[in-house]
Every structure is written in C-alpha cells, then in structure tokens.
C-alpha cells in the first residue's frame, strides 16, 4: 500500500474539518457582523433621539428664556406703574384726611365719608344741570330779544308808513 494513499483520506478529513471549522468561524463572523451592525444601528438611533431631544430641550430653553425676558419687562413696567400709583395715593391722602375731618365735624349730617362724597356728587350734578338750563334760557332770551328788535323795527316802519300816508292824505285834502 501506498503511504501517500493512506494519508490522502486523513488529509481529506483534516481538510474537511478545517473547512467545517472555517465555515463555523465564517458563520460566527457573519453573526458577529450582524450583531455589530445592529449595535451600530441602535447606537445611531439612540444618538439621533438624543440629538432630537437636545434640540427640543434647547428650543424649550430658548422659549423659556424669551418668556422670562418678557415677564421681566412686564414686571419692570408694573413696578413703574405701582410707583406712580403710590405717588397718586400719597398726594391724595391729604384729601382723604380732609374729608375725614369734615365728616367728623358734622357726623349728624354725614355719618360716613361716602355720604359726604355722595352729597358732593349730587351738588355737582345739580350745578351741571342748572348751568345747562341757564345756557338754554340765555339762548332763548337772545332769540326773543332778536325777535323783539325785529318786531320793533317792523312796527316803527309801519308807523312811519302810516304817518307818511296820513301826511299825504292831509296834503291831498288841503289841495
């Protein structure tokens, strides 16, 4: 027997084992590659979600910052208005004290400061009404005065015309 022949089946068997081993390694490598690709895709997806979330958070932060700036401006405006109102209140405080003093002087007529203010409003309204009526009467008086002047002129003309006619008739009678 040929020694090379005996080696051939062993070599073939070794070759088949190596080929089988290489196939397993190739499959393992392909599986590993698939897992790696899947891992990369998941990482890419996670990265995209993280970027989107970061962009959304940045957008929300900018919106909140803009809102804060707007609210700060409104606050400053309100502080200014508050300061002006405080000034008005402090200036009007003397009037409040005056009204309280008047009310205390005649409590039987004005039990409350509001009664005093109501009386003032009533008098002010009555004054406005009387002023309006006075203007109406003055206007009516002017109108009547104009009618009187016109009537007087007409009557004077009528008298002059009548006197002229009488004079003409007397002259005609004398002739």
| Spatial separation of the C-alpha atoms in residues 51 and 45, rounded to whole Å | 10
φ, ψ of residue 107 to 5 degrees: the values are -65, -25
Q: Is the distance from CB of 109 to CB of 103 less than 8 angstroms?
A: no
pLDDT band with cut points at 50, 70 and 90 for residue 14:
confident
Q: What mean pLDDT do residues 83-102 have?
A: 94
Residue 2: the pLDDT is 52
pLDDT band with cut points at 50, 70 and 90 for residue 112:
very high
Buried-state track 31-41, b at ≥16 Cβ within 10 A, e below 16: eeeeeeeeeee
| Spatial separation of the C-alpha atoms in residues 59 and 48, rounded to whole Å | 16
Q: Is the distance from CB of 110 to CB of 122 less than 8 angstroms?
A: no
| Spatial separation of the C-alpha atoms in residues 77 and 44, rounded to whole Å | 49
Q: What mean pLDDT do residues 113-134 have?
A: 96
In the 8-state DSSP scheme, what is residue 129?
Answer: H
pLDDT band with cut points at 50, 70 and 90 for residue 6:
low
Q: What mean pLDDT do residues 138-161 have?
A: 97
């Amino acid at each position: 027997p040929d020694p090379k022949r005996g080696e051939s089946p062993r070599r073939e068997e070794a070759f088949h084992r190596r080929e089988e081993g290489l196939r397993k390694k190739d499959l393992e490598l392909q599986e590993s590659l698939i897992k790696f690709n899947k891992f990369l895709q998941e990482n890419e997806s996670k990265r995209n979600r993280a970027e989107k979330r970061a962009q959304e958070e940045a957008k929300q932060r900018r919106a909140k910052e803009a809102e804060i700036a707007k609210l700060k401006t409104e606050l400053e405006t309100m502080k200014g208005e508050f300061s002006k109102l405080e000034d008005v209140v402090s200036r009007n405080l003397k009037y409040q004290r005056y009204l309280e003093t008047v009310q205390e002087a005649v409590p039987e007529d004005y039990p409350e400061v509001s009664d005093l203010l109501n009386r003032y409003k009533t008098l002010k309204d009555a004054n406005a009404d009387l002023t309006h009526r006075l203007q109406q009467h003055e206007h009516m008086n002017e109108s009547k005065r104009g009618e009187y002047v016109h009537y007087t002129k007409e009557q004077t003309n009528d008298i002059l015309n009548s006197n002229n006619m009488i004079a003409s008739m007397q002259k005609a009678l004398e002739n």
